[in-house]
Chains A and B, each alone.
Chain A
Amino acid sequence: MTIIVTEGAQPEEALEYMNRNWPAWAEAMERRGGRRLGRELDHPPTPATVRLRQGRPLVTDGPFAETKEYVGGISVFQARDLDDAIAAQSGNPVNRYCPFEIRPFPDGLRLGPGAEAFAKGDDSAGIPWLLSAWVHRGRHAAATDPALRGECRDWREDLLRRGRLVLGAELGGPETAATLRWRDGETRISPGPFLDIDSRLAGIDVVSCRDREEAVALAATHPVARQDAVEVRQFYTDPGLGETLDAGAEPDGSGGEPAKRPLEDA
């Protein structure tokens, strides 16, 4: 299952709340067990959108969907079922301010050797980029088409062989999504994806690349780019690197200012 966190700019008290309550939640997640990987995306977002037209990559600066809110981060974790996933995430202090969308990976998740380092915020082996495959609603059949899904799997395996894949998977359709929002003092669950737009998020991949140019070139080889679009975004890289993002590690107790809002657990 994955969580897609969406957010606008956060006010000061929100950041303060998240930082203060983060350790307790991270500890609870630690006790819960199971593998968890996740990370915050660049803020403000600086995406590129890649489409393949007449065999050539057509790159536009800007997000795939022009919306006020945007995906602020991803989290991947194991859950028994939807209620288990909801229970795990509804205590997340970030959810107090940002809606979460939960979706399953029906075909499982492909993990590369760099997944752990990625979740810890350790980018020494390469900068991680998020490639989001967006398929237009008119081509929903394509999104669930076994042939296209098979192509995506092959593409992913090839990335893995070339040492580029951090993690990646096809997502369950929008009908499998549930969105969590904090309202009136409790977590409310509503049906459907967070973004109500003409396209569906069909899959996500985190790839390791030298720079943006390389990430965009890689996105152009994504099977979905042929007919639809692949959005390229950078993950947030903590200058202090890895310490606060690793929720499993004990805080160092130095009393130093938390480097930043810790969005994700490792």
Chain B
Amino acid sequence: MRAAVGEGAAADLGPIFREEAGRITAALTRRFGDFDLAEEAVQDACVEALRSWPGAGRPRRPGAWLQRVAERRALDRLRRRRLELARHPLGFPRGGDDRLRLIFACCHPSLSREAQLALTLRVVAGFTTAQIARAFLVSETAVAQRITRAKRKIVAAGIPFRVPEPPELDQRLGEVLAVVYLMFNEGYLSSGWERAHDRSLAQEAAWLARLVARLMPQQPEVLGLLALCLFQLARERARFSAGGELLTLAEQDRSLWDRRAIEEGEGLLDRAAELGRPGPYQLQAAVASCHALAPSWEETDWGLMVRFYDRLAELDPSPVVRLNRAVALAHVAGPEAALRETEALTTQLDGYHLLHATRAELLRRLGREEEARVAFGRALQLTLNPAERSHLRARSGTRP
């Protein structure tokens, strides 16, 4: 796992470890019924690989090599602990992909969201405790405790390692997707002040989405979430100016967008649409695709986007969705109509900086400069993200 990779030397082994570690951990967890044992054994195998591969050459099938070594190490550890070999205290069922079971167990709704996130990152994606602590700006001790408690709960409360079946599947899959999406957002645009964005966490979340999409290709919402991640990551190189300022979609240099990622996202959305079960992630991805396909800000198909938002609001009548719809509506029906829409949201979203930023933009377009300045000020008070703050300052015409 990455802990063993070190920061530089064997960085090219990182992708292999990342791809294989989760799978092998899951397989060993199933076999031995012990999270910690499986993780330690996989860690051992990665260390072993780092030691022997540079001299002896990388094996032809690195995954099989790692698994063999990890299994041997797990057995060694078991012997040392004088446990019976290959006991199955959790009674894991057989067949299917172990990682999927592991993800569903880590995202079980009887675990708190924080525990779900930490456990998924640790056990499925192979993050170290330190990396998780950095990603969520909490202490390493807190993360370690959270993970230990969550693992204990899985055993004590009898959370099964099983992919749920209908009718539970939809709700449980919703938990998994929520965890992945939260992880993605946290990485893509963090709400904390220390880092404007954490690419690795967002990439990691997209990797997880891809994993679930590969394992559950018939679930359209999974495809939708992966498409959504890809559309957003495609803009990664264009989101900041040379000086580190956050750029809006209107300001971004679209030639920097990753066309391959956009094409893949489009393909995923098509496949999802064929399955005929629209959902919030697919619709959010459809909105993102309107941006991705527009040659310029002005040529964006705002009418289509408003229709996607209408459908989204039916499934998820949250004020944030209505706010986003208002932004698109401004291009179709003018700033005044959009401003009216935002008026209805001021009580619910008073603490949300983007409500005030949106209102400020609309007020400015209507020539109501004084009100616009007040709204910009309010938005500034409400976000700590340095890139967003400097962006807001620039828009409002005030100096830091």
Contacts and interface: CB of A to CB of B under 8 A. Distances in A.
A81 B156 contact: no
B195 to A, nearest CB: 29
Task: Bin the interface of chain B by size.
Answer: 10 to 19
B110 A190 contact: yes
A227 to B, nearest CB: 24
A213 interface: no
Interface stretch (A92-100, A115-123, A170-178): A170-178
Contacts, number: 59
A176 to B, nearest CB: 4
Nearest to B162: A83
Contacts of A103: 157
B111 interface: yes
Contacts of A85: 158
Contact of B110 (A87, A106, A173, A191): A191
A81 B160 contact: yes
A54 to B, nearest CB: 36
Interface in A158-177: 172-173, 175-177
B171 A177 contact: no
B168 A82 contact: no
A74 B108 CA distance: 24
Interface in B269-284: none
Interface residues of A, number: 25
B168 to A, nearest CB: 7
B112 interface: yes
Interface in A133-176: 172-173, 175-176
B109 A191 contact: yes
Given A175-B152, A175-B153, A82 B159 contact: yes
Given A83-B160, A190-B110, A191-B110, A176 B168 contact: no
Given A178-B110, A186-B171, A191-B110, A83 B164 contact: yes
B56 to A, nearest CB: 44
Interface in A230-254: none
B149 interface: yes
B128 to A, nearest CB: 24
A178 B157 CA distance: 8
Contact of A176 (B91, B115, B153, B164): B153
Nearest to A179: B110
Residue among A1, A83, A106, A177 with max Cβ neighbours from chain B (10 Å): A83
Contacts of A173: 156
A45 interface: no
Nearest to B170: A186
A196 interface: no
Contacts of A192: 112
B190 to A, nearest CB: 24
B160 to A, nearest CB: 4
Contact of B168 (A80, A87, A191): A87
A189 interface: yes
Interface in A65-84: 79-84
A192 B110 CA distance: 7
9 contacts: A82-B158, A103-B157, A104-B158, A175-B156, A177-B110, A178-B157, A191-B110, A191-B112, A191-B115
Given A82-B157, A176-B156, A177-B110, 13 more contacts: A82-B160, A83-B160, A83-B168, A85-B158, A173-B156, A175-B153, A178-B110, A188-B171, A189-B109, A189-B110, A191-B111, A191-B115, A192-B112
